[in-house]
Copies of this chain bind each other. A is one copy, B any other.
């Protein structure tokens, strides 16, 4: 089949409007938010509106041996949805229906194109809560969240995406439709294929539907901010919180570099008077006196390790104001240059070592590195700030980025806590999982996608 024949076939099965080939238009679908991951020019971009369209598109591409790169909104930051040269990009954003919310069984059935925020709002109308909350929750889609097993700020208490998924519908490489999992809370019939597809980054199939578990809507959060004179002290506070058996609904850390950037951006002091400190932000959604008690216990831990300043509030508006410091980090850093945001996860006791290591790496590569992240689960996001137009800076930024991954592994961590591998960290995946792990990945890929149709070369190379 020639490329022209394939495009004609796709137009015939999906309708002409659902098949884009104009290079100016398809360019907008050819990469995600990671500037440095490679991408190619797609042959076509298809936007099917139902599962049958997805199946027909997959069959047509399989017959033509043209690879498919599935994608959602493109909010990813590992190049996992980047086009390969001559591929068909299969966009799932038009499968955007919330099919069902069943409050009595606390589940929802959704298509992959539903925006995370829309599901959250629909669930909230029933007093229910869909926990996974990646930073891009107001525009990322459930399909992308499933493909990357997305995390967010809630994970310290509520886990990542896979912890909320009960079942999937997936179009396989031969166009057949696989249903995994179930609608019940528990179920152990057969292999856990649901959790195999979640986080598989579009390399095993196209997810066309998901059944997710909802939780009771938590109480409005009470918020605590604590400032420390060093990353070590803030790290000790995190360890103390874990050791005391406290489970806040949010526990974020910002290092001195991040704090300074945010202070400059917001034009305000964040309370780290010494200028060399670190900030913890913490919330409890337990409500009322219980939240007060949780935050009081956390305040005690912070004071015990020598916090310079601690302040708690159960006023939601004031809490939002405090949280603003965390939410603007990315914008604050973008004022300083291009940003390459990493995603390492280390044991919670090693956070201070990671931050201190990043200070050393920053000095080595001569670039600003600001660290913030989800302290409650050790998932840190060091950002290397660089000037893309200055000679050698991109290379130095990438070197710094790699040094951070090296450091993360040496601290007993992983090279990705929530962003994924994509087309940017393949070498690091191979290194983390080793030759046996890589071989098992290849065997599973070969078993489910023998023609290497889906997202070829992303995550790992097939051989």
Please determine whether A421 and B190 come into contact, CB atoms closer than 8 angstroms: yes
Chain B residues within an 8 Å CB radius of A392: none
B188 contacts A432, C-beta separation under 8 Å: no
| Interface residue range, chain A | 35 or more
Q: Are B419 and A188 in contact (CB under 8 A)?
A: yes
Copies of this chain per assembly: 2
Q: For A277, what are the chain B residues with a Cβ–Cβ distance below 8 Å?
A: none
Given contacts A243-B103, A412-B184, contact A191 B436 (CB under 8 A): no
CA distance A421 to B187 in the complex (A): 11
Given contacts A379-B186, A437-B178, A444-B447, contact A192 B105 (CB under 8 A): no
Check if B191 sits within 8 Å of A242, measured CB to CB: no
Q: Is the CB of A347 within 8 A of B184?
A: yes
- Verify if A93 is at the interface (C-beta below 8 Å from B): no
**Cβ–Cβ contact A188 & B149, under 8 A:** yes
Alpha-carbon separation in the docked complex, A183 to B413 (Å):
7
List A411-445 residues whose CB lies under 8 Å from chain B: 412-421, 425, 428-429, 432-434, 436-437, 439-441, 443-444
- A362 CB to closest chain B CB, in angstroms? 23
CB pair B448 A443 closer than 8 Å: yes
Determine whether the beta carbon of A184 is less than 8 Å from that of B414.
yes
> Which segment of A27-35, A196-204, A261-269 sits at the interface?
A196-204
A239 contacts across to B, CB distance below 8 A: 104
CB pair B188–A416 under 8 Å, yes or no, is yes
Q: Which residue on chain B has the smallest CB distance to residue A378?
A: B184
CB distance from A291 to the nearest CB of B (A): 11
Contact flag A199-B193 (CB < 8 Å), given A185-B378, A437-B178, A443-B448: no
Q: Are B347 and A180 in contact (CB under 8 A)?
A: no
Query: Please, which residues of chain B bring their CB within 8 A of the CB of A163?
Result: 163
30 A-B interface contacts by CB (under 8 A): A103-B243, A104-B239, A105-B347, A127-B245, A155-B186, A160-B186, A172-B436, A176-B439, A179-B433, A182-B414, A184-B345, A185-B379, A186-B374, A186-B378, A187-B416, A187-B417, A188-B199, A188-B421, A189-B414, A189-B425, A189-B433, A190-B421, A190-B432, A190-B437, A190-B459, A192-B199, A193-B441, A216-B245, A290-B290, A444-B444
